Amino acid sequence: MRAVIADAEPISRALLGEALARAGHLTEVARDGLEAWRLVAGDDPPDLLIADWRVAGLDGLELCRRVRGLGPKAPFVVLLAAADEAQAMAEGIAAGVDDVLQKPLRLDVLELRLRLAARTQTARLELARMRAEAASRSRVDQLTGVDDRLAISSRLEAELSRAARTKSALTVLLLDVDRFRDINDAFGHEAGDTVLVTIAARCRKALRRYDVVGRWGGEEFLLLLPGCTADHAQQLADRLLQAIRVDTIPTSQGRVAITCSLGGICLDVGADESNNPEQVVKAVERATEEAAAAGGDRAAIFRVEAS
């Protein structure tokens, strides 16, 4: 563990440092509560914070209240208070401290409590990791492994905002599998699922590493291509269609030949306030319908100028 100590008393600080070092933990000493807060709220927060409730600058109680607002990255908090400072201990518990140690410190008690703190914080971080993984999985389409509709919608909003802010190009594509209902009718839904999985994989392979693919629904995929101008969008779309049709897809019911219709819009000079996600999606849906109406296996790409 990494620990931050915020305690102005030299003897107490030395005991804490000795116990932490013996347990193999790295220690940083904060000059006051404000410095302790900067260390805790930084990009690389410690696992443990030990603060005297009377530390200067920002007392231990207020420090704890702020730490509790950090969420999963919050360290395990130990408040130090003298034996006759019962009110401070009660307020510390109310403020959300994880443990309270009485001064003067006893080394044997201190080492025991630090072991318990390490064990608790390790379990807490593991739980936070598992929750983050579960949240991540919930935003992935379980069949194809690409972003689900919620995730790709969020990414679209973020990319539009970034394009407007940086005045950079953005191309949005919608890919629709041609005659997908016929495939399901002729080969079965299991084969249809195999087709969708293969198309998602071929899309990811054909696109750049920073492009984004999401399943929009059914047999549709939304693709976000940051920095892609109209001059390059048609080339990329043609390459994508070629990558999809290049070979038939093996399924349990035989090999299936696949083509797709692709519609898109290019924001060459960045988005503006008129380019909200709903309007962008409607535009690419119309473009995709146009490509499908023309026979499929083609792309209809349109340039949209910022107003």
Three-state SS for 138-156 is HCECCCCCCECHHHHHHHH
**Token reading at 189:** 């839904």
Q: How far is CA 177 from CA 160, 219, 252, in A?
A: 26, 6, 19
Phi, psi of 299 (to 5 degrees): -120, 140
Contacts 24+ apart (CB under 8 A), 131-138: 131/72, 132/72
Lookup result for tokens 């109310």:
94
Record the tokens describing residue 209, joined without a space: 């590493």
The residue whose two tokens read 């209902």 is 181
219 belongs to the catalytic site: yes
| Residues paired with 260 in a beta bridge | 177
**Beta carbons of 121 and 196 less than 8 angstroms apart:** no
219, 278, 290, 305: which one is catalytic? 219
Other C-beta atoms within 10 Å of 262: how many? 27
- Catalytic residue annotation: 219
